[in-house]
Amino acid sequence: MSAIAKPVERLIEAFSRLPGVGPKTASRFTFFLLRGSDNLSVELAEALQQLHTDVVTCQQCYNIADESPCAICGDSLRDATTICVVEEPLDVVALERTHAYHGLYHVLHGAISPADNIFPDDLRIRELVRRLEAAPVEELILATNPNLEGEATAAYIQRQLAGKKVRVTRLARGLPVGGDLEYADALTLSRALAERQTA
């Protein structure tokens, strides 16, 4: 690597730490930016800087947002009696794409996976229980991924809510086992939403 200028090497190294990016792709990205005549590099640099200064976690739903409460939590037209629990912010994006859901969200930021050191307390489950105690809702939709980690997380949440007066539902089985919510097409997802069942 010594034949390459330091700043170039540094960027390649940084890119290759991203998920799914190998050294080859990292080099391609870097040389593309280097050759680029437009302002992409500047735009990227600005966007990256703002990523950590201008983005906050909504203190109600824990989604990533511009402000707290986020646009969804702050929208008085949305149905505050329903909360949909998802693993990742991208799942919110997928559900919003369906235009079939008008309630609020709660983002866990992961699913239980002890071998990876992800325990219930690392997710926003305690915050969810507190949120429901502070402002009871009618329905809680558990929209964790339809795979083992997602099912385990949903089962754990249900256990925490035993005895509480809230209808707990799970997305319908239209979603194939093993897939991730964020990749589901809008049609399948809105159908799974419409046919959700009491958990």
Partner 1 sequence: MGREKLYRAEAVVLHRQDMGEADRLLVLYTPDHGKVRVIAKGIRKPSSRKSGHLELFARSRLLIARGRNLDIITQAELVESFEGLRTDLSRISYAYHVAELLDRFTDEDIENRPLYDFLLSTLQWLAESENLSLTSRYFELHLLDYVGYRPQLFRCVQCNDEIQPVENYLSAEEGGVLCPRCGEHVPRTRPLSMPVLKILRFLQTYDYPTCRRLQLRDAVSRELELVMELLLSHYLEARPRSLAFIRQLRRERQLKNKTKHGTM
Q: CA angle at residue 152 from 142 to 184, to 5 degrees?
A: 50
* CA–CA distance, 141 with 159 (Å, rounded to integer): 14
* Least distance CB 26 / partner 1 (angstroms): 13
Closest to 177 (Cα-Cα) out of 142, 150, 139, 157: 150
Q: How many residues bind partner 1 (CB under 8 A)?
A: 31
* Least distance CB 134 / Zn ion (angstroms): 14
Q: Residue 1 touches which of Zn ion, partner 1, none (CB < 5 to 8 A by kind)?
A: none
Q: Residue 40 touches which of partner 1, Zn ion, none (CB < 5 to 8 A by kind)?
A: none
156 binds partner 1 (CB under 8 A): yes
**H-only helix segments in 66-195:** 89-97, 125-134, 148-160, 186-194
184 binds partner 1 (CB under 8 A): yes
* Interface map 112-131 toward partner 1 (x if CB under 8 A): xxxxxx-xx-----------
Site for Zn ion, residues 39 to 68, rule: CB under 5 A: 58, 60-61
Q: Residue 19 touches which of Zn ion, partner 1, none (CB < 5 to 8 A by kind)?
A: partner 1
Taking each helix axis from N to C end, the angle separating 125-134 and 148-160, rounded to the nearest 10 degrees, works out to 40
Among 11, 12, 26, 73, binds Zn ion (CB under 5 A): 73
* Strand positions, DSSP E, the chain: 56-57, 64-65, 79-86, 103-107, 139-142, 167-170, 197-198
Q: Determine if the peptide bond prior to 69 is cis (ω within 30°).
A: yes
- The stretch among 13-21, 44-52, 100-108, 128-136 that binds partner 1 (CB under 8 A) is 13-21
* CA–CA distance, 12 with 28 (Å, rounded to integer): 9
177 binds partner 1 (CB under 8 A): yes
Residues at the interface with Zn ion (CB under 5 A): 58, 60-61, 70, 73
